[in-house]
Amino acid sequence: MNAQAQMREEARFPGVLVHESAFVDENVDIGEGTRIWHFVHVLSRVSIGRSCVLGQNVMVGPRVKVGNDCKIQNNVALYEGVELEDGVFCGPSCVFTNVDNPRAFINRKSEFRRTLVKRGATIGANATIVCGNTLGAYCFVAAGAVVTSDVPDYALMVGVPARHVGWMSRAGERLGDNLTCPRSGERYRKTESGCLELVEP
């Protein structure tokens, strides 16, 4: 990207860093403080919030929504149907899908399924998120896990297919039997449905 092209990008997205090797299509909204690094492609009708980081070789498909303060590490593709709320972490090379039964020779664009990743969730490196599921707030999907169903808030998921093996705090620490975060001191409790919630101070 020459200097003139760089100036045009800065005029389109004030306060946003767009690396010269990145491509940002028309009709895109990007919040101030976001950084878009090497070889990223952001397609049209995408909304990206404030203070996000898109690492090398990230692709953001049409009509994808990314909240504020998200970190999307290298080699992640966010296909149409994916929505990330605020503060989501996508580890390197994690995978999203958007069709249950794809065939190269059958057009199934009308069958894209929505995948919602709620506030503060973490998806580990090389994890796979099968489409049509919701990942709960502050959940933690371990590296290499394959998520095939909805994930509760604060749940720790590991394995193939991913199974629920414990709970994580908002600070990203595994909770023991006392359901108290060893880093922040925040306390949690189980609800009648068996899910976890933060005890308000």
Q: pLDDT tens digits, residue range 154-189?
A: 999 999 999 999 999 999 999 999 999 999 999 999
Q: What pLDDT shows up at residue 11?
A: 75
In a domain, 174, yes or no: no
Residue 88's domain spans which residues? 3-169
Distance (Å) of CA 47 to CA 43, 66, 110, 128: 10, 6, 21, 23
Spatial separation of the C-alpha atoms in residues 46 and 82, rounded to whole Å: 11
What is the chain's alpha carbon radius of gyration, rounded to the nearest angstrom? 18
pTM of the model: 0.94
In a domain, 179, yes or no: no
CA angle 92, 1, 46 (to 5 degrees): 50
**What CATH number does residue 155 fall under?**
2.160.10.10
Long-range contacts of 98-102 (CB under 8 A, 24+ apart): 98/131, 99/131, 100/130, 100/131, 100/132
Per-residue pLDDT band for 2 (boundaries 50, 70, 90) equals: low
Q: What pLDDT shows up at residue 93?
A: 98
Spatial separation of the C-alpha atoms in residues 38 and 58, rounded to whole Å: 9
Each residue's pLDDT tens digit, 77-103: 999 999 999 999 999 999 999 999 999
In a domain, 190, yes or no: no
The mean pLDDT of 43-52, rounded to a whole number, is: 98
In a domain, 31, yes or no: yes
Per-residue pLDDT band for 69 (boundaries 50, 70, 90) equals: very high
Domain count, the chain: 1
- Provide φ and ψ at 96, rounded to 5°: -115, 145
In a domain, 128, yes or no: yes
Distance (Å) of CA 50 to CA 70, 72, 92: 8, 13, 21
DSSP for residue 6? H
